[in-house]
Chain A
Amino acid sequence: MDKPYDVLVVGAGPAGLAAAGAAAFSGARIGLVDAQMQAGGQIWRYDVVQGVAAAAQVQLKSLAAKKNIEYLFGWRIVTIDSQKNLIAENLAGMRRLQWKKLILATGARELLLPFPGWTLPGVTGAGGLQALVKSGWPIAGKRVAVTGSGPLLLASAATLNAHHAQVVAIVEQASLSQVAMFAVLLPRWPTKLTQTLALKWSLRNIPCYYDAHVRAALGTSFLEAIEIDNGRSNTHVECDYLACGFGLVPNLELAQLLNCAMDDKIHPSIAVDDCQQTSESNIYAAGEICGIGGVEIAQIEGAIAGFTATSNTHKAIGLYSRRRRMYRFAAAVAHHFSITAKIRTLATPDTLICRCEDVPMSAVSNFDDARTAKLATRCGMGPCQGRICGSALAELRGFTRNFGRPPLFPVSLETLASAEVQPINQNQHETIR
């Protein structure tokens, strides 16, 4: 068995990298584990064509100088054992990771919402298509529409543009006046203003629809066109891909397995105190799992967690004011780009809500929580374990989430057999929030 890490960081995105870097100052033995083969997480994902993101390069360079960080890339955490050691697996086998302090930086995934045609191949998440393209998905010359809400749409369109896709429409559900009110606030955060202006300029020739949404994706076995509804008329736009960005939701499964307390929002996040400590002793959390806030907050929270976990409290406290300032930016984004009722009612009774098990919306109409709906309809029982439909039903219908049981991902029997996993505590998994 491996020796315990003084600090084990889960997730090598902006929060996890900052946490590992801050913790490494102490000279302690740090482990940094991530399911991907390269550091960067989602937002700083390595790009097959363009290489490492500029912002990530700075962070990675400073980490490279620290010799007390061990990198465990390509290892996915699948469960925990009775001692709360993490069980990691890859195609070659399993590993048991022991720790004295644990920093969770598992990030977020996209909130994917159902509408007619959303199961057609070619319909993806906005960050999802960005990720696919950065990993070499051929997009050059393809017609792509981007829809949803918020600054992520611009970032996604810019990546697609840079990879020579033909972006045919950006469909923003917020009205032009809401976007303008947000833009007026931007000078308060100069780096954000510069980023947004640069994005807007790079996308200046792309048709933008405001106060509009995609009401349906059309096609027989692959996406062929979309219907854009701006409240007055429908516009038919032919496209090969539709990238949907309705926001992000935290990846809480591992934190939940470790018993970390969550808040009671529709899309819960991990409850932490000022120094990023969770309800569980020696477990810290940083970044998007503590609430969607963006890359700057993730880095600051990561550094605070890393410093606190290594008893460098003074340095952690020094970062509090910067974090507060960026919290105000996150609140402004959430306020101006919140999802409207129109988006929540696009799915028809025939629209599939659970893609894994082909369960239509009509089947869950008489339920109001994910667990009961699952038992009666198989909604959420497929391989994604309710990750997609659970968040969608929380958003659309206010369903309480059912976080499921270990293992967190389908896992080999060999791993399960050698992991000495904890017997399932029924109460723990039935009480969700």
Chain B
Amino acid sequence: MNGSLHLRVNGIEVDVPIGASVAAAIARITPYCHRSPRGDLRGPLCGMGVCFECRVCVNGTAYVLACITSAQNGMEVTTDG
């Protein structure tokens, strides 16, 4: 697929190819998605929607798994790191 999608990660504008995941958009801005209970920074581990290490906030909804969610135009993504 050609073309690109336009979204924001932590308020920063980012473009990704059509079909890309939210995780792919995040990676262009920060290597981190969330913090563990003790405050360690974490990034994607399983890449398949199992481990929850890539969870972020998308359009105000928390616990969205960035690795299996398709990026869409106008999305507002917030990480915790």
Residues of A within 8 A of B (CB): 35-38, 42, 46, 48-49, 51, 74, 76, 91, 109-110, 112, 119, 121-125, 127-132, 135-138, 221-222, 251, 355-358, 382-384, 387-388, 410
Contacts and interface: CB of A to CB of B under 8 A. Distances in A.
Given A110-B48, A383-B63, 15 more contacts: A76-B49, A112-B46, A119-B40, A121-B43, A122-B31, A124-B44, A128-B45, A132-B23, A135-B19, A135-B47, A138-B28, A355-B53, A357-B37, A358-B40, A410-B63
Given A36-B68, A383-B52, A135 B24 contact: yes
Interface in B2-45: 16-21, 23-25, 27-28, 31-32, 36-38, 40-45
Contacts of B46: 109-110, 112, 124-125, 128, 388
B43 to A, nearest CB: 3
B45 A123 contact: yes
10 residue pairs, one from A and one from B, having the closest CB atoms: A136-B20, A121-B43, A128-B47, A136-B24, A131-B47, A135-B21, A383-B52, A132-B47, A48-B19, A384-B52
Contacts of B18: 48
Nearest to A391: B50
Nearest to A220: B41
Contacts of B21: 132, 135-137
B20 A48 contact: yes
- State the main secondary structure of chain B at its contact with A: loop
A257 B77 CA distance: 33
A233 B38 CA distance: 34
A48 B17 contact: yes
A256 to B, nearest CB: 15
A408 to B, nearest CB: 11
B67 A119 contact: no
A119 B36 contact: yes
Contacts of A410: 63
A186 to B, nearest CB: 28
Contacts of B67: 131-132, 135
Contact of A35 (B20, B52, B63, B68): B68
Contacts of A49: 17
Interface string B41-76: 111111111111101001001011001111100000
A222 B51 CA distance: 18
A147 to B, nearest CB: 14
B52 A132 contact: no
Contacts of A112: 45-46, 51
Nearest to B59: A91
Nearest to B26: A137
Which of A46, A128, A251 lies at the interface centre, i.e. has the most chain B CB atoms within 10 A of its CB? Answer: A128
Contacts of B51: 112, 355, 384, 387-388
A373 B42 CA distance: 24
Contacts of B47: 124-125, 127-132, 135
13 contacts: A112-B51, A124-B44, A124-B45, A128-B45, A130-B47, A132-B21, A135-B20, A135-B24, A135-B67, A221-B41, A356-B52, A384-B51, A388-B45
B44 A128 contact: yes
A116 to B, nearest CB: 14
Contacts of B48: 42, 109-110, 125, 127-128, 131
A220 to B, nearest CB: 10
B50 to A, nearest CB: 5
Contacts of A130: 47
Contact of B42 (A74, A251, A355, A388): A355
Contacts of A74: 70
A110 B53 CA distance: 14
A48 B70 CA distance: 11
Which of A91, A124, A131, A136 lies at the interface centre, i.e. has the most chain B CB atoms within 10 A of its CB? Answer: A136
A433 B40 CA distance: 35
A235 B19 CA distance: 39
Given A122-B31, A131-B67, A358-B38, A138 B24 contact: yes
Nearest to A244: B45
A363 to B, nearest CB: 13
A46 B55 CA distance: 21
Contacts of B53: 355
Contacts of B68: 35-36
A48 B24 contact: yes
B49 A35 contact: yes
B24 A121 contact: no
Nearest to A135: B21
B36 A121 contact: no
